[in-house]
Structure formats: C-alpha cells, structure tokens
Amino acid sequence: MPDAPIEVPGRVVVSGASGLIGRALVDALRADGVAVTRLVRRPVEAPDERSWNPGHTLLDPEVLRGARAVVNLNGASIGRFPWTPRYKHELLWSRLLPTQTLATALTALGAEAPAFVSASGAGYYPSAPGAVLTEASPRGDTFLADVCGEWETAAQRTPGRVALLRTAPIIHREGVLKPLLLLTKYGVSGPIGPGTQAWPWISLEDEVRAIRHIIDHEVAGPVNLTGPTRATANDLGFALARRMNRPFLVRAPLWAISLVLGRDATQSLLASDSHVVPGVLEASGFTFTHTTVEDAVAAAVPA
C-alpha cells in the first residue's frame, strides 16, 4: 500500500514551477496547506511569486531564508528535437545558470541554508545491458550524462543538505508519451531499435510524492527517481498501444531516428539500455503508487 500522505512543514521554494513536475509539485504542496514561493522570470503577478534572473543578477538570499527546502527544477526540455549545437548549449546552460544562482544564494545563508533538492536525470548513467544501475554506479559518457554531471556538481556547492533527483522520463501525456501518442493514434508505432533495451520510467504522481518524501525524510545525495520494476522500450510501446487499442508493428531503426533527432539525442534517450533502480528511495521507506510501466500508462491515458 502507498505510504500515508506526507505533510511537509514550513515553506518550500520552487524554481521551474511552470514545468510539468513543478506545476504538479506546487499543487500537491498547496493541497496540504504547505506555503510555496515560486521563482519566476517575469514580473511578479501573485503574492507567492518572486522574480529572478539567473545568470544575470544574484538572487537575494532572504528569499530562501527560513524555507524548509529549495526545489530546483529548471531546464529546457530534453523532449524537443533535434538537438542542434545551439539547443545542446541551451540544454546545458538552462540547467547550470539557475543551479549556480541558487547555490550562491544558499551559500550566503551559511548554516541557515535550507535543504537543496536539485533536479538531475537518469541519463546520468551509461548504457549497461544486463546490469543493475544504482546510485553508486558510474556516470556514462553521453552528452546527457555530461550535462547531468555538471548540473550535479553545481548543486553540490552549497553548505547544507543536497539531494540530487536523478529522474527518469515521466510517463505522462506531456512527458515521454507526448511524441508516442500521435504515432500510436495513427497506427504507426512499433519497436524503437531492438525494443528490448531497458528504459527507466516513473509516473508523475510518484515523482511528486518522491520529491516530498525526500524533503520530509531528509534524504541526501543522489536519489534515483525511477519506477520499481524493469521495463523495456517495447513494454512501454505495447502498453500504450493496448491502452489506445491500436497496433504496435512499425519498427523504427535507430539509424533512421538518428538522422531526425541527432546522434546525441538518439544515444542518450533511445539507444541506451539502462536498468536504473530506486535503491535509496526504497531504502528510505518510500512505496510506489504505480509499480509497473503498465500501471503508469493506465494512469496517464484514461480509457
């Protein structure tokens, strides 16, 4: 059974609150009466907002003082293609600049700094067919692994507790399912490459619950935010096709995908065979609402 609803005392500061995970996290915190401060890059429009301009101006540390945690979810979407040299630059610096700005403000608070819960990705790990990848496993050598490594290094330059969220692709209509839904709808979905490569995954509900669990249970260090059971590319594709009552037949070779998406995106997202397990999360007492990729797809795509 899922664990009891988490009540996180104190205020939580969220950057990247307009994204898929950020919106869901803010809604969940507010639903339980937790005060939220959202950092926005536009003029302030609501009492809970504070304007900031990461990479250009320093953030006033007083914005963070007294918070229970600062949750950093900034970053351009890895689901936008192709990964041109210009977009790869954006993928990196849209993560580094906000993280560096928050780390500087937290450092200014010294011993009074709140916990820093900073996003990273399961793309940190290498392709390792047949292996089980834990938080202690080495970093991979893809472009995305390098981005995650620099992102985490920037987050760790703070004096307080730091948790690094190595999040898997989110099973949601606005997440990893977005490009698959249209293909499946028109009956042209099928295996991507061999289809047997392990793909880490997590539902949006469990992602949000896990972030709150990490805050509440004072978990530190790298934390794999991935579903508890192994799933292949074919498992995800079949689950979606069954949910939509459509065929799953048209194979997409990786060389052809690489021509469209680019070599780095294909290597990092589609060709990688990475069974990433949520060891730290489960050891800290977290239990999942969606234990299989089929459960997560059913929750994301109503019948």
pLDDT score, position 259: 76
- CA-to-CA distance for 105 and 89, rounded, in angstroms? 24
**Which helix (DSSP H) or strand (DSSP E) does residue 221 occupy?**
strand 221-225
Listed in sequence order, the residues at least 6 apart from 107 whose beta carbon sits closer than 8 Å to its beta carbon are: 113, 157, 158, 159
Instruction: Tell me what the mean pLDDT of segment 155-178 comes to.
Output: 95
Instruction: Tell me what the mean pLDDT of segment 161-188 comes to.
Output: 93
pLDDT score, position 235: 97
Instruction: Tell me what the mean pLDDT of segment 47-73 comes to.
Output: 97
CATH 3.40.50.1370 fits 12-300, yes or no: no
pLDDT band at 79 (very low <50, low <70, confident <90, very high): confident
179-183 long-range contacts (CB < 8 A, ≥24 apart) are 179/79, 180/236, 180/237, 180/240, 181/240, 181/244, 181/301
- The helix/strand/coil state of 119 is strand
Listed in sequence order, the residues at least 6 apart from 96 whose beta carbon sits closer than 8 Å to its beta carbon are: 150, 151, 154
Q: Above 50 in pLDDT, residue 3?
A: no
* Beta-sheet strands, E only, within 130-171: 162-167, 170-171
State pLDDT tens for residues 96-109: 999 999 999 999 99
pLDDT band at 4 (very low <50, low <70, confident <90, very high): very low
**Which helix (DSSP H) or strand (DSSP E) does residue 15 occupy?**
strand 12-15
pLDDT band at 70 (very low <50, low <70, confident <90, very high): very high
pLDDT score, position 262: 78
Listed in sequence order, the residues at least 6 apart from 302 whose beta carbon sits closer than 8 Å to its beta carbon are: none
pLDDT score, position 2: 41
Q: Above 80 in pLDDT, residue 76?
A: yes
State pLDDT tens for residues 256-275: 778 777 788 788 878 899 99
State pLDDT tens for residues 178-215: 888 988 999 989 999 999 999 999 999 999 999 999 99
pLDDT band at 252 (very low <50, low <70, confident <90, very high): confident
State pLDDT tens for residues 116-160: 999 999 999 999 999 999 999 999 999 999 999 999 999 999 999
pLDDT band at 9 (very low <50, low <70, confident <90, very high): low
Least confident window among 14-18, 243-247, 270-274: 270-274
- CA-to-CA distance for 89 and 197, rounded, in angstroms? 28
Domain locations along the chain: 12-300
- The helix/strand/coil state of 171 is strand
pLDDT score, position 20: 96
Least confident window among 69-73, 75-79, 148-152: 75-79
- CA-to-CA distance for 3 and 20, rounded, in angstroms? 23
